[in-house]
Structure 1
Amino acid sequence: MQSYSEKVVVVTGAASGIGRALAQQLSMQGANLALSDVNMEALEETASILRGTGKVTLQKLDVADRGAWEAYAEQVKADHGQVDMIINNAGVALSETVERMSYEDMEWIVNINFWGVVYGTKSFLPLLKERPESAIVNVSSIFGIIALPTQAAYNATKFAVRGFTESLRQELKGTNVFVTTVHPGGIKTNIVRNGRMKTSMTGDNQTLEQQAKHFEKIAKTTPAQAADTILEGVKGGKRRILIGSDARLMDRIQRLFPVRYSDIFGWALKKLG
């Protein structure tokens, strides 16, 4: 996809963070936008700062609700007449040991981070296949490549998004639908503040505020930089998009030490703690 001008792009989790930055950049590049989030007030704030002239529609959407997705796809088709790209960006965080983790928390994050991507992909795939060129952009994480303590549930969902998307890409090879997986490192968003952060990665009983402040220190990439990397990656046909120097470094270490990388990161976590 060489241009976003006059394309219809669906973005989930568009009320803040990477989703909002994507909406801003796509708007400036002439796209028509179908934006969704569970936070309608913040989603309206996103719409208010867009500077493009393309059509923008807003929808309160719980990505964990399959029926809502199916109705949403029909609504976007009715509102825009076509869909050229979907960016399954909505996601949440959970930090807790496997032993202490509740099934409710596990189901919560799986339903949003994994099933939300599956529902979005399947609901819009028929519309995407109607277009001469289209794209599916599924946001995983660097934690879809490496695993760390207290991140078992988050890792499980992001590894699942990666596997699902890479398989889908092979199924759609040779078609008009381009498929890519996005792996952000630390991005300056509110994902920690909005998450269920029960135990820190170092095992300390830090408060949510302490964990959020620690994350802000190590998260070096802005949402705008992340959005730019994603959109340029899609234009360039990249099948895996790594965001941030930290993500690129961790990916490289994992490739060099596919089993022992955990020892390296364990040492680094103690230093950071």
Structure 2
Amino acid sequence: MSFSDKIIWITGASSGIGKALAVELSNQNATLILSSRKKEDLMLVKNACKNPDAIKIITLDLEKHSTLQTKADKAIAAFGTIDILINNGGISQRSFAKDTSLEVDRRIIDINYLGTVALTKAILPHFIKRKSGHFVTTSSIVGKIGTPLRSSYAASKHALHGFFDSLRAEIYKDNIAVTLICPGFVNTNISKNALTGNGTPQQKMDTATKNGIAPNTFAKLMVKSIQQRKEEVYISGAKEKLGVYVKRFIPKIFSVLIRKMSVT
């Protein structure tokens, strides 16, 4: 697949994986729509891309579900169509379940799961009408295995797998693809912005995150997976990837290992 004739909408595009994706896809001559809550940061990403004149910015907040249909309509109108929606926006967590308020649980679900689902449903009729389209969603290795300090985050990512696996089966006949990308540790600000039990950001980077995959390297691997229209991809270090398979085939061993594993 060439991206030179593709119009791609990326959420969570103001930093981290989203920013790296924007730069990589612009280098491959894609036409881009970039979204997040932060317009100034989006402008910086736009200006860092190869063809800033071929990029539109639409601010949005995934927590404000009632606004997302309007945002989707605006995105479609920007270039007349959308070929690929990359659901990359979201927020993480660093707190034990016993210390996490229900409001924080709810907020993580509202952003990561319901916000992504709402935006997907807003674009879905457009894809069905065209009999073409591709949903790409950034999940997590934690969308396959639950780990300490991530109870609500893991729940939100597990929910995305259930939704998009079901959706993939429903829209196959409409020539619409679904790709779930599962990152391990990536060197971004995700741990700094992660919510603690009372809803405040952690404001520090985890050691594992700091030692994670470089965002530009991750973006190249993710873009390759999108080109190949893969259904589910694990892009991570060996330990995170191994955890997925240990959980699948010898879950009792996994339960012992995860209690001892450092996830910070």
Q: TM-score, normalised by structure 2?
A: 0.92
- Aligned partner (choices 232, 236, 251) of residue 240 of structure 1: 232
Shift of 1:198: 4.6
Tell me if 1:251 matches 2:244: yes
Shift of 1:267: 2.2
What are the ranges of 5 or more consecutive residues in structure 2 without an aligned counterpart?
none
Distance 2:211 2:250 in 1: 23
Shift of 1:52: 2.8
Shift of 1:32: 1.0
Residue matched to 2:255 = 262
Shift of 1:54: 6.1
Q: Deviations over 1:109-160 (max 9, x none)?
A: 1111101110111011112223353200111100001111221101100100
C-alpha contact (below 8 Å) 1:38/1:60 kept by paired residues:
yes
Residue matched to 2:43 = 44
Shift of 1:223: 1.3
Residue matched to 1:22 = 21
Q: After alignment, is 130-139 or 231-240 more displaced?
A: 130-139
Distance 2:135 2:114 in 1: 15
Distance 2:66 2:4 in 1: 30
Change (3 A) 1:38 1:125: same
Tell me if 1:185 matches 2:184: yes
For 1:223, give the aligned amino acid: P
Change (3 A) 1:100 1:60: same
Distance 1:229 1:129 in 2: 28
C-alpha contact (below 8 Å) 1:15/1:39 kept by paired residues:
yes
Structure 1 runs of 4+ aligned residues shifted over 6 Å read none
Shift of 1:218: 3.9
Shift of 1:262: 2.1
Say which SS state the counterpart of residue 233 (structure 2) adopts.
Answer: strand
For 1:240, give the aligned amino acid: E
Residue matched to 2:58 = 59
Distance 2:86 2:61 in 1: 15
Residue matched to 2:116 = 117
Residue matched to 1:93 = 92
Distance 1:154 1:248 in 2: 18
What are the ranges of 5 or more consecutive residues in structure 1 without an aligned counterpart?
200-206
Residue matched to 2:163 = 164
Q: After alignment, is 230-239 or 136-145 more displaced?
A: 230-239
Aligned residues: 261
Residue matched to 1:204 = none
Residue matched to 1:155 = 154
Aligned-pair identity (%): 30
Q: Deviations over 1:191-242 (max 9, x none)?
A: 011111359xxxxxxx945x514234442x1111221122111221210011
Change (3 A) 1:46 1:217: closer
Distance 1:54 1:5 in 2: 14
C-alpha contact (below 8 Å) 1:93/1:197 kept by paired residues:
no
C-alpha contact (below 8 Å) 1:148/1:262 kept by paired residues:
no
For 1:168, give the aligned amino acid: L
C-alpha contact (below 8 Å) 2:191/2:209 kept by paired residues:
no
1:195-210 equivalent positions in 2, closer than 5 A: 195-198=194-197, 208=202
Q: TM-score, normalised by structure 1?
A: 0.89
C-alpha contact (below 8 Å) 1:93/1:194 kept by paired residues:
yes
- Aligned partner (choices 215, 228, 232) of residue 220 of structure 2: 228
Say which SS state the counterpart of residue 111 (structure 2) adopts.
Answer: helix
Say which SS state the counterpart of residue 15 (structure 1) adopts.
Answer: coil
Q: After alignment, is 10-19 or 53-62 more displaced?
A: 53-62
Distance 2:221 2:130 in 1: 24
